Structure 1
Amino acid sequence: MKILLIGYGKMGKTIEQLALAKGHTIVGKIDHTNAEELQNYNGSNTDAAIEFTHPEAAFGNVSYCLTNGIPVVSGSTGWLDKFDEAKQLCDQNKGAFFYASNYSVGVNLFFHFNEYIASKMKEYKEYEVTIREIHHLQKVDKPSGTGITTAEGILASYNNLEGWVADNPEEKSKLNITSEREPDVVGTHIVTYSSEVDQIELGHIAHSRTGFAEGAVMAAEWLKSRQGVYGMKDMLNL
């Protein structure tokens, strides 16, 4: 496959190594230093784009791909207020769009188990549920996209909670997500159910970015020849 990398930070470079090892070709590498070169790519010279950038750039990048015939895999977070617009663009242009807040297979199994546990724990009102997420110091958005996806999985069962709130444990009507930033942390997410007598935890700790990158390359391969909007549940049959 001819893959265009949009975003060439730590994740982009890891994706490049894995894609090349699997026999794919990197046709271009776009970042903030050469953003204008994105216009050189379209469906005739690119099989898929893998986009990992910042919240302020993500929607523009995804929109460009969808309107220029490039199937796009995006892992950027912090821009989901425009996600419905991206879906509409995909439909209008008969494009292919794959989005996940986290491409790790392990994290997506964590999401799956999180939803199942929440569906059972909702019956036990004595347990208070909270989320804690820890990332590296360069992580811009708080809470992380993975933290928000985890919260949404819980809220689907907890009708008594009025959404989620960031770093405000005193707001008992909402699900609290505590965000921490530390050096050399790839990504940690922990869901805790706590009562006066005991505590139950479900967690995922990433040891490297390789799992995220592998999932993104898998998604680009899977998206080929498809049309529509997809996510990890579709690819993993969860």
Structure 2
Amino acid sequence: MKIALLGYGRMGKAIENIALDRGHEVVLKIDKNIESYSLEELEIDAAIDFSIPDAAFKNITTCFKAGIPVISGTTGWLDRYEEAVKICDEHKAAFIYASNFSLGVNIFFELNKKLAGMMKNLEEYGVEIEEIHHTKKLDAPSGTAISLAEQIIEVNERKKGWHLEKANDNEIPVFAKRIEDVPGTHTVSYTSRIDDIEIMHTAHSREGFAKGAVVAAEWIKGKTGVYTMKDVLSSLLE
């Protein structure tokens, strides 16, 4: 495959290493100004976006207009997500956005949904989420922690939202910690007077996130439409 990297920071470099190891070619590396490139001439099979919030929407939709499938893990731009989906559909492109592309995290998401369904009527248990990342991570809480909270809210009628640290009774408290050189740890805890139940995912490096993004790019090649990592995961676990 011919891959374009939209954003060439630490994640972009990790993705490049994985892509090359899997036999792909990186034909374009962009930091910000995507409009200065002739995308059609490069015959790009898929673009992987780990840029910055201010650049993500332009990067993604410019690729859609060139008919290029996009895998995006950039957070902080999702107020324009529906607009991006519309442009994707108009140009018969393909798109996967995920707050986390790690295959392990996406299995963790499925476990979180299952556990949330089991716990939803047990009022004696409180629920909270903790995420720990490296000190250079700018957003808090992480997109992964927000996704975990939203999955719980979807099935638990007693929870109407989430809040960073201080939460009302009908909200899920989300705690964000920043510690040097921590790739990412997420914990969902249910606590009662009698006992505690926890599920946790701990990343040991960025390799898992990078590999998941490349696997998603391999999967989406030749497709049109909007998908999720659940679609990718389902095909891998068949």
Q: TM-score, normalised by structure 2?
A: 0.95
- The residue type equivalent to 1:123 in the other structure is N
Superposition deviation, residue 167 in structure 1: 2.0
Q: Which residue of 1 aligns with 2:3?
A: 3
Paired letter, 1:11: M
Match of residue 78 from structure 1:
76
Q: Deviations over 1:10-38 (max 9, x none)?
A: 11111111111111111011114xx2565
Same amino acid, percent of matched pairs: 51
Find the counterpart in structure 2 of residue 134 from structure 1. 132
* 1:40 Cα deviation after fit: 2.4
Contact 1:122 1:158 survives alignment (8 Å): yes
Alignment pair present for 1:65 and 2:63? yes
- Residues 1-238 of structure 1: matches in 2 within 5 Å? 1-32=1-32, 35-36=33-34, 39-42=37-40, 45-169=43-167, 171-237=168-234
Flag the 1:97–1:38 CA change in 2: closer, same or farther, 3 A.
farther
Determine if contact 1:43/1:69 at 8 Å carries over to the other structure: no
Contact 1:193 1:201 in 2 (8 A): yes
1:106-154 deviation per Cα after TM superposition (whole angstroms, max 9, x unaligned) = 1000000000000000111000000001111111111111011111111
Secondary structure in 1 matching 2:51: coil
Q: Hey, what's the Cα distance between the residues in 1 that align with 2:228 and 2:24?
A: 22
Task: State the distance in 2 between where 1:236 and 1:58 align.
Answer: 24
| Shift in Å, 1:210 | 0.6
**Does the CA contact (< 8 Å) of 2:14 and 2:210 recur in 1?**
yes
Residue 43 of structure 2 aligns with an amino acid whose one-letter code is: N
Please give the root-mean-square deviation of Cα atoms over the aligned residues, in Å. 1.4
Greater mean deviation of Cα atoms: 111-120 or 66-75: 66-75
Identify unmatched segments of 5+ residues in structure 1.
Answer: none
Provide the C-alpha distance between the structure 1 equivalents of 2:36 and 2:61, rounded to a whole number of angstroms.
12
Q: TM-score, normalised by structure 1?
A: 0.95
Alpha-carbon offset, residue 184 of structure 1: 0.4
Distance 1:42 1:147 in 2: 37
Corresponding residue pairs, total: 235
